[in-house]
Amino acid sequence: METDSCTFYFEDANANRKKLFAKALLHAKDGKVLYILAEELNELPVLSQDLSSINKHYMKMVTFMYVKSLDSLIESISALQDWQSIPSTIILDDLSAYCNKNDLQNACGIVALLQDSTKCCSNLLKGTCRLFISVPKGIVGEDYCNMLKELYC
C-alpha cells in the first residue's frame, strides 16, 4: 500500500494554482485537504469545471491556512500530527514564498519537513497522504526545479 506521495508543479504561479486547486477538490473526496498559502486569496482560480457544479461538501473538506513567514510555516507544519482532523492531502502553494531566490537549502528543508509530516499523517490515517508543492518556474529557474525533482520525487 502506498503511504505517501509527493508531486511538484513547475509552471507559472497562476497555472500552478489552478492545478493545485483542482487537486484539492479532487482529493477532498478522500478526506481532509490542507491548502497552505503565503497570502489570502482574493478570488478562487478559474477551473475547467464550474464551481457551482462541485459538491459543496468537498469545499468544506479543504482548509486554507495562510502562513506568511518561514518560521510560521515550520511551526504550523510541525504541529500537524497534533490536529484532531489529520489531512490526507497537503498542498503548499508557492514554495518560493518561503525561500530566498534560488535558495535550495531552505527549499530542501521545507520539502523534507513537509514529507516527514506527510509520512506522519499517513501513519496516523493508516492510509495514503499526498503532498503537492508548486514552485513558479520563472522565479527559481529550471535547474532548481530539476534538482528538487531529483531529490524528492
Query: Strand, helix or coil at 51?
Result: helix
CATH number for the region 4-152 comes to 3.40.50.300
Q: What is the pTM of this model?
A: 0.85
Query: Residue 129 is placed in which grid cell?
Result: 497522504
Predicted confidence (pLDDT) at residue 106 exceeds the cutoff of 60? yes
Q: Where are the domains of the chain?
A: 4-152
Cα gap 64→54, rounded to integer Å:
18
What percent of the chain is modeled with pLDDT above 70?
75
pLDDT, one tens digit per residue, over 53-101 is 566 677 788 999 999 998 999 999 888 878 888 999 999 999 988 887 6
Predicted confidence (pLDDT) at residue 1 exceeds the cutoff of 50? no
pLDDT, one tens digit per residue, over 125-136 is 999 899 999 988
Cα gap 34→63, rounded to integer Å:
5
**Grid cell 532548481 in the structure block, residue:** 144
pLDDT, one tens digit per residue, over 30-47 is 899 999 999 887 766 665
